[in-house]
Amino acid sequence: MTFTPPAPASDYRDSGLVFPPGFIFGSATAAYQVEGAAAEDGRGPSIWDTFSRTPGRVWNGDTGDVACDHYHRWESDLDLMKELGLGAYRFSIAWPRIQPTGTGAVNQAGVDFYSRLVDGLLARGIRPVATLYHWDLPQALEDAGGWPVRGTADAFRDYAAIMGTALGDRVDTWTTLNEPWCSAYLGYGQGGHAPGRHEPGAALAAVHHLNLAHGGAVQALRETSSGDPDYSITLNFHVLRGLGDGAAEAMRRIDGLANRVFTHPLLKGEYPADVMEDTASVTDWSFVKDGDLATINQPIDVLGVNYYSTATVRLWDGTSPMQHNDGHKDVTGGTPWPGSDQTVEFVQQPGPYTSMGWNIAPEGLEELLVALSAEFPTQTLMITENGAAFEDEVAADGAVHDPQRADYLRRHFTAAHRAIARGVDLRGYFVWSLLDNFEWGYGFAKRFGIVRVDFDSLERTVKDSGLWYGRLARTGVLP
Ligand code: FCB
């Protein structure tokens, strides 16, 4: 992808912008981050249960055992979305609730939970946007090798067929995978995410099997969905800045590993030759079999875009201490950049920052949307995640005044609007997240919600940013 930063002529703090009729304003969550009820109604263990129970993996020893208790509180959470005026809800299905060991018989209680959830959304006029996989792989499949082995992609196809049969009459949009970049490289390369392995070759095998799982799942969902759902996948794009003499080379390498190794097989049916060369010392790519690329290259109705911030890279000089400011939790022992971890470093970027330490750069979102639509002109896009963590405080009257989060959202909605004005076919925007929740390796320490969750009482309080977003969602006009 070619990145062209727009001139920094504005702070992106517009108001009064009118979004196109039918533009979808939603919010997003993921099963392990909100549901809790980890051992209820036949749910099997996932890699995130194992990982979060392993000392030292998650801050403060937090786990998703209870999380936001959404499994029991889903009805009032749906009421909250309706009160806010949200038009869509992006949630994920926990595979281990459906097939506790990842293969074999269906656990009907798990299917019933999501069936009730979908009905509850439709009854409230909210579109169900369902993700099949937001990182909670059944532990039994990891024990059999996980995403680095082909059998996991085969199992995923069967799981997709189960869900297509069960919910494909009512789901509005199917998303196969959320951020396969994280599943592959953080899970198997860097190790900051479950299952926490440090195997660069396995990370690349995981990339391929996740791509293959997507293609097989789209086929299975199409065969089994009796309604007229749309089909999608969500990727976390890396919007890059380059420094120094080798800037273009550093950006090419990271764009390849982060972006093109997904977009090219998914949307063009080929792996980028330069990525295969860059990683030749790590793997020979023999896990790519005849016919795989045709399976992977399924037409999709909408491409999901997750965006939070930019990344700045340069070629490492080989002697100075290497910088690792790629936005991912510092973990020793592995790398998420196989084949380029001794070549490219990630440089500290100018602020301001959110409490994740991520730089706030709304122009990066505009630039990303424009770049994607230039490269894939017929592909409809949807922002499936954007949002910010800040250190919220509860005021004496119980309210949560979070002007920084509303400001972050204003600036990114402005960026999205500018992309639309430049001709990008953007269907909607999902704020991450509806609720404060279990933020993976950071546990409950990072709050992304537009609704506060008190993790002792589990009480919900709509933050000021949530009220602001509700005004936008109800009117389609940036307040
Ligand atoms: C994304 C994840 C999501 C959440 C946000 C902050 O990478 O998809 O679950 O953790 O980051």
pLDDT per residue over 437-458, tens digit each? 999 999 999 999 999 999 999 9
Range 315-328 average pLDDT: 96
Span 37-77, pLDDT tens digits: 999 999 999 999 999 999 999 999 999 999 999 999 999 99
Q: Mark whether 179 is an active-site residue.
A: yes
Q: Is the beta carbon of 432 within 6 A of some atom in ligand 1? A: yes
What is the CA(397)–ligand 1 centre distance, in A?
Answer: 30
Beta-bridge mates of residue 158: none
Which are the contacts of 446, defined by CB distance < 8 A and separation ≥ 6? 355, 356, 389, 439
CB 157 within 8 A of CB 213: yes
CB-CB neighbours of 282 under 10 Å: 18
70-106: b (≥16 Cβ within 10 Å) or e: bbebbeebbebbbebbbbbbbbbbbbbbbbbbbbeeb
Please state at what angle helix 70-84 crosses helix 108-123, rounded to 10 degrees. 10
What's residue 184's pLDDT?
98
pLDDT band of 166, cuts 50, 70, 90: very high
- Mutation to probe ligand 1, out of 440, 444, 447 (largest number of atoms < 8 A from CB): 440
Atom number, ligand 1, closest to the C-alpha of residue 439: 10
What is the identity of the amino acid at 440? W
What is the identity of the amino acid at 242? G
What's residue 10's pLDDT?
83
Q: Which of 179, 363, 366, 367 is catalytic?
A: 179
10 Å CB burial of residue 374 (0-12, 13-18, 19+) is middle
Q: Is the beta carbon of 440 within 6 A of some atom in ligand 1? A: yes
Range 112-127 average pLDDT: 99
Atom number, ligand 1, closest to the C-alpha of residue 234: 8
Higher pLDDT, 331 or 51: 51
β pairing state of 426-432 and 24-28: parallel
Query: What's CA 82's distance to the chain center, in Å?
Result: 23
User: Is it the case that residue 468 has pLDDT exceeding 70?
Assistant: yes
Q: Mark whether 223 is an active-site residue.
A: no
What's residue 220's pLDDT?
99
The rounded distance, in Å, linking the Cα atoms of 165 and 163 is 5
What's residue 2's pLDDT?
76
Query: What's CA 416's distance to the chain center, in Å?
Result: 18
Span 407-416, pLDDT tens digits: 999 999 999 9
Residue spans of alpha helices (H) in 305-453: 362-375, 403-421
pLDDT band of 330, cuts 50, 70, 90: confident
What is the CA(317)–ligand 1 centre distance, in A?
Answer: 32
User: Is it the case that residue 5 has pLDDT exceeding 90?
Assistant: no
What's residue 333's pLDDT?
86
Which are the contacts of 22, defined by CB distance < 8 A and separation ≥ 6? none
Which are the contacts of 295, defined by CB distance < 8 A and separation ≥ 6? 212, 215, 216, 219
Range 23-29 average pLDDT: 99
Residue 97 φ/ψ region, left for φ over 0, alpha for ψ in the -120 to 50 degree band, beta for the rest: alpha
Span 422-436, pLDDT tens digits: 999 999 999 999 999
Span 170-197, pLDDT tens digits: 999 999 999 999 999 999 999 999 999 9
Atom number, ligand 1, closest to the C-alpha of residue 236: 7
- Kindly report the backbone phi and psi dihedral angles of residue 218, in degrees, each rounded to the nearest multiple of 5, phi listed first: -60, -45
Residue 183, preceding peptide bond in cis (omega within 30° of 0):
no
- Mutation to probe ligand 1, out of 385, 435, 444 (largest number of atoms < 8 A from CB): 385
Per the prediction, the chain carries an average pLDDT of: 97
What's residue 8's pLDDT?
57
Measured at the CA of 222, the angle between CA 221 and CA 224, to 5 degrees, comes to: 65
10 Å CB burial of residue 332 (0-12, 13-18, 19+) is exposed
Range 205-225 average pLDDT: 99
Atom number, ligand 1, closest to the C-alpha of residue 440: 10
- Kindly report the backbone phi and psi dihedral angles of residue 195, in degrees, each rounded to the nearest multiple of 5, phi listed first: -90, 5
The rounded distance, in Å, linking the Cα atoms of 338 and 434 is 34
pLDDT band of 3, cuts 50, 70, 90: confident
What's residue 226's pLDDT?
98
What's residue 6's pLDDT?
60
Beta-bridge mates of residue 240: 311
Range 284-305 average pLDDT: 98
Q: Which of 35, 366, 385, 439 is catalytic?
A: 385
Q: Is the beta carbon of 178 within 6 A of some atom in ligand 1? A: yes
Range 330-334 average pLDDT: 87
